[in-house]
């Protein structure tokens, strides 16, 4: 049968050589073993592995059930809890205020666009008439989303300052027992100091230092960032020191044999070995910094989510409590996302270590 097909294909192709390829493809098409192999190969190359999907769904089920149970319990008990502003808002009331806060931000963006459009039109008319133009910054009240952005920028600056100070000091502490013995008492004394104690000191120092009437960064922004730095750098410093001190002595001996300089030893041996400890400290520092920031903003009335919560508390309207609870949820979600981001960076850095 295959010979007949081959003769027919050969005759149809005018005696050209592709007839052999055609015979091979036809034979493979009717070969059940080859078909099974192709199906197995296609299943392995399929990006969505059913087993992985099942494991992922099982891992997602427990948190989903927990969240739904919490929301149901919250909705059932909220009407039974009395406050000075009425009963405790439930999930529906809180989510409604979240939508309202987003609508306020959208309306503020429209007002801002209208303000600048009117200013541009006024300046064009002034140019046409030969008059001087005047430009002003939009000075509308900050919305909830604006406060979120301010808090994120503040904690980012404070965390960055804490990291660039803590990591070098931690490496020196881990590599030098003498330096570690000298600085350890200071670290242990400063580590438990509350941000409430740092805040007035930092405020007075920054107020005396930043005397420029038009600074590049707002004074309140700098105060909050420095308070975050002072309270969050200790976790990174301590974990970095532990990581540098726990490096395998054999690696250091190899460095001596190869006559590596101090910089090469630091970048090729010490840092790769201490990297997991450094990222663990950074994760802890970022979480501490986020908590410290909210408290500092609330007490010092610096712009951010903390100030938003305090302003709503002082407002005392019927919607204030629901807005405060929505802000609390957002603060928790942002803290969770920041920790997940740091964990992803830690896993990525650990996979790409050279040691």
Domain boundaries, the chain: 2-46, 51-79, 144-351
Q: Could you tell me the two tokens for 200?
A: 């007035």
- Considering only residues 264 and 278, tell me which one the structure prediction assigns the higher pLDDT: 278
pLDDT of the residue at 212: 81
pLDDT, greater one: 6 or 347: 347
Cross-strand pairs, 83: 86
CB atoms within 10 A of CB 266: 16
Contact 78, 95 (CB under 8 A): no
CA dihedral 138, 144, 149, 150 (to 10 degrees): 70
Domain 144-351 CATH class label: mainly alpha
Q: What is the pLDDT of residue 11?
A: 45
The average pLDDT across 28-40 equals: 54
- Average pLDDT over every residue of 161-167: 96
pTM comes to: 0.77
CB 326 within 8 A of CB 320: no
Q: Which uninterrupted H or E stretch holds 36?
A: helix 32-45
In this predicted structure, what is the pLDDT of residue 36? 53
Token couple for 202: 């930092």
CA distances from 132 to 122, 124, 138, 225 (A): 10, 10, 19, 39
Counting every residue, how long is the chain?
A: 355
Is the predicted pLDDT of residue 236 greater than 90, yes or no?
Answer: yes
Distance CA 278, CA 85 (A): 46
- Cβ neighbors of 287 (< 8 A, separation 6 or more) are 335, 338, 339
Could you say which DSSP state residue 135 is in?
Answer: -
* pLDDT at residue 221 tops 80: yes
At 288 the pLDDT is 94
* 274 and 243 Cβ atoms separated by less than 8 Å: yes
Q: Where are the beta strands (DSSP E) in the chain?
A: 82-83, 86-87
């Amino acid at each position: 049968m295959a010979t007949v097909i081959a003769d027919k294909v050969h005759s149809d192709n005018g005696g050209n050589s592709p007839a052999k390829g055609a015979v091979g493809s036809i034979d493979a098409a009717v070969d059940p073993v080859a078909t099974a192999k192709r199906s197995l190969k296609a299943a392995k190359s399929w990006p969505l592995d059913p087993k992985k999907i099942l494991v992922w769904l099982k891992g997602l089920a427990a948190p989903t059930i927990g969240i739904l149970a919490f929301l149901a319990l919250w909705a059932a008990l909220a009407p039974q809890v009395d406050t000075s502003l009425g009963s405790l808002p439930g999930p529906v009331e809180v989510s409604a205020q979240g939508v309202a806060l987003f609508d306020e931000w959208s309306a503020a963006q429209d007002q801002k666009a209208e303000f600048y459009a009117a200013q541009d039109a006024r300046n064009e008319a002034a140019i046409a008439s030969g008059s001087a133009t005047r430009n002003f910054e939009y000075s509308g009240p900050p919305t909830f989303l604006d406060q979120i952005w301010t808090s994120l920028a503040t904690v980012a600056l404070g965390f960055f300052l804490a990291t660039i100070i803590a990591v070098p000091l931690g490496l020196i502490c881990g590599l030098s027992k003498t330096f570690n013995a000298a600085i350890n008492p200071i670290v242990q004394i400063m580590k438990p100091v509350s941000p409430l104690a740092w805040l007035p000191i930092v405020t007075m120092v920054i107020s005396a230092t930043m005397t420029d009437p038009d600074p590049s960064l707002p004074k309140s922004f700098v105060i909050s960032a420095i308070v975050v730095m002072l309270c969050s750098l200790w976790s990174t410093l301590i974990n970095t020191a532990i990581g540098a001190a726990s490096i395998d002595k054999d690696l250091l001996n190899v460095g001596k044999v190869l006559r590596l300089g101090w910089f090469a030893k630091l970048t090729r041996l010490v840092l790769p070995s201490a990297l997991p400890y450094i990222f663990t400290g950074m994760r802890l520092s970022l979480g501490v910094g986020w908590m410290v920031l909210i408290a500092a903003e609330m007490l010092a009335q610096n712009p951010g989510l903390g100030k938003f919560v305090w302003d709503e508390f002082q407002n005392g309207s019927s919607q204030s409590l629901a807005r405060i609870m929505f802000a609390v949820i957002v603060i928790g979600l942002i803290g969770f996302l920041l920790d997940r981001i740091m964990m992803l960076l830690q896993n990525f850095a650990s996979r790409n270590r050279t040691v």
